[in-house]
Amino acid sequence: MNGTTACTKQPRDQWILLPGVHTGYIGWEQYEDNQRRLRENAQANGLDRRTGPPREGPALLQGLAVCGICGNRMTVRYHSRGGNLVPDYLCQRDGIQHGKSICQQVPGESVDQAIRDLLLQTMTPMALDVALAVQQEVQSRTAEVDRLRQKQVERARYEADAAERRYMHVDPANRLVADTLEAEWNSKLRALNNAQEEYQRLRQTDRVGMDETQKKRIAALASDFPKLWQDVALPDRERKRIVRLLLDDVTLAKHELVTAQVRFKGGVTTTLTVPRPMSIWRVNATDPALVAQIGSCLLDHTDSETAAILNQRGVVSAKGQPFTFRRIGRIRRDYDLKSRYDLLRQAGMKTAEETAATLGTCPSTVRAWGLAGLLSVHSCGDRRNRYLYEAPGENPPVPHHGQKLSLRLPSAAVSSQSTQEVQCEA
């Protein structure tokens, strides 16, 4: 009216689209594939972050992980462990936009391992045989549905032909009847045209048949897939592309265990339960059975003797290291175990100084009596000459004041078999 133009965008299903009418630089299928890739890459920068392009990191579920609490897409954060990148899946959109704490953070290493195992178990000869059988059943049912649709087209054609015959037999002079039959004929023709177009569209959609060559290639995946997946030369990006060919998404929820609800292409779902990784202090904690074993050894042995006994039995620490008396002492302190010294003291044994004060002599004489077997002596530590003595009883040894005490010591108590002289002045 006023010389202006207006443009209104219509959804694609309302277009009059005739693909392949004109020759282009690329085919229609390639154009559709390019548009799909562009949409996926654009969504990687949007709020949904659905099926974004695979990146170089090792996280298998990058772009596929969904928060099991709020339903948002989860992002990936990496940290280094032992020189390798380890992923964590985070739901942090609300935290970034509104300054709140993150919804949940799921350790990704154990989840990725569970997904790897699931895919390797899925791509087995039996699973592929079942998939081929299901595909064959779907194909047979599709053929049955196609026959039913074809009958609908035939019925519409019969009704159009009947309307045409009725119109042809009418008297042209009777314009009222002729116009009515012509309108009915046109209506039946439109219904036939719509039925044929719908039939062709659904037939293109339902083409699921496979020839023998394709079936052989699918069966070969059972042996090729594990080799391909475990190939060290395969980049992480290609592994992610393989995962995206098989999975739609994975919903993660972290409670006492990590639950992963896996949705395959085609709608099949399965649920995995993954234990949460232990904290570092739990990893390095000594096993309770080993603590009990150490406590049992300490009843009759020192720290050094206990370490030697455990090493002889082939027992190692939580970090896989052999035992030393320092490591045994640290375990005693960490788990509140009593040492050999404390146990003997609780049993009423005394030091050389305390025993000497009781017997009215000097500590060196008590040590000499202990070496000579006149007093019951027990080793109580790893330092040299650290002993405790039992009470002497009713007939204790009597010191000889001002005299030289000559004792012949047993060979187990000295390094040589000679007689040693112990001099003590009372």
* Per-residue pLDDT tens digits for 95-145: 777 777 888 889 888 999 999 998 888 776 655 565 556 566 666 777 777
Q: Which helix (H) or strand (E) holds 17?
A: none
The residue among 356, 380, 364, 373 whose CA lies nearest residue 410 is 373
Q: Which helix (H) or strand (E) holds 378?
A: strand 377-379
- Boundary of a domain, candidates 337, 368, 401: 337
Residues 313 and 290 reside in one and the same domain = yes
The stretches in the chain having pLDDT less than 70 are 1, 40-52, 124-139, 205-224, 278-284, 382-385, 399-426
Q: Which helix (H) or strand (E) holds 153?
A: helix 125-168
Residues 350 and 310 reside in one and the same domain = no
Tell me, yes or no, whether 288 lies in a domain.
Answer: yes
Tell me, yes or no, whether 319 lies in a domain.
Answer: yes
Output the pLDDT for position 222. 58
Q: Is 338 helix (H, G, I), strand (E, B) or coil?
A: coil
Tell me, yes or no, whether 16 lies in a domain.
Answer: no
Output the pLDDT for position 89. 93
Q: Which amino acid is at 201?
A: R
Output the pLDDT for position 393. 74
Q: 88 has which bridge partners?
A: 77, 107
- Boundary of a domain, candidates 293, 315, 337: 337
pTM for the model stands at 0.48
Token pair recorded at residue 161: 């032909």
Tell me, yes or no, whether 382 lies in a domain.
Answer: yes
Tell me, yes or no, whether 176 lies in a domain.
Answer: no
Quote helix, strand, coil % in the chain, to nearest 5: 50, 15, 40
Residues 351 and 311 reside in one and the same domain = no
Tell me, yes or no, whether 226 lies in a domain.
Answer: no
Residues 333 and 384 reside in one and the same domain = no
Residues 328 and 376 reside in one and the same domain = no
Residues 331 and 388 reside in one and the same domain = no
Q: Residue 189, Cβ neighbours under 10 Å: how many?
A: 16
Residues 353 and 408 reside in one and the same domain = yes
Output the pLDDT for position 413. 38
Token pair 């046109």 is found at 186
Q: Structural domain of residue 415, as residue ranges?
A: 345-422
Q: Which amino acid is at 226?
A: P
Tell me, yes or no, whether 369 lies in a domain.
Answer: yes
Output the pLDDT for position 88. 92
Tell me, yes or no, whether 309 lies in a domain.
Answer: yes
Output the pLDDT for position 128. 59
Output the pLDDT for position 418. 35
Cα–Cα–Cα angle for 217, 218, 220, nearest 5°? Answer: 65
Give the Cα separation of 308 and 296 in Å (integer). 14
Q: Which amino acid is at 4?
A: T
Token pair recorded at residue 403: 């005299």
Number of domain units in the chain: 2
